[in-house]
Amino acid sequence: MVNMEAVYVDPKNRRKKTGITNHQYYVVNNFNMVLDMQIQELGNRFNEVTTDLLIYMSSLSPFLNFGAFDKLNLLKLAEMYPCDFNFDEKDKLIYELGNYIAVKDDTRFDDFNGE
C-alpha cells in the first residue's frame, strides 16, 4: 500500500524531486484530469442549445414545491419554439405562468417528491 503522505516519486525520473505528496498526485492531479475529460465528453454530447433546453425545462419541475420555477426561463423556452407560440400567445404566457405557480399554494401538492 502506498503511503499517501510520502513524497511522490515520478517513475520516469526517480532522481528529480517533485515536491508533492502521493496524496496530492493521486487525488488532485489525477482526479482533475479525469474530471476534465468527463466535462469535455459531456460538452461534446450536449451542445449549448440542448443544455439551455434542459435548464429551461427544469423550471417546470414540481419537485420541492416548484422551487425551480422561473418565468424568465420559461419565456426563453417559448422563444425556442417560434412555430408553437405566436406574438400574442407569448404575450399571454406571462400571465398564464402566474396561474401555473398558483398551484404552489394548493395543499394537494405539499408532499409531492417528484417521483
pLDDT, tens digit (0-9, with 9 covering 90-100), for 13-64: 777 777 888 888 888 878 888 999 998 988 888 888 888 888 888 887 777 6
> Whats the size of the chain, residue-wise?
115
Residues 33 and 67 in one domain: no
Q: Amino acid identity of 109? A: F
The model scores a pTM over 0.85: no
Residues 67 and 84 in one domain: yes
In a domain, 115, yes or no: no
Residues 93 and 65 in one domain: yes
In a domain, 2, yes or no: no
Residue span of the structural domain in which 54 resides: 48-109
pLDDT at 37: 92
* Cβ atoms < 10 Å from Cβ of 2: 10
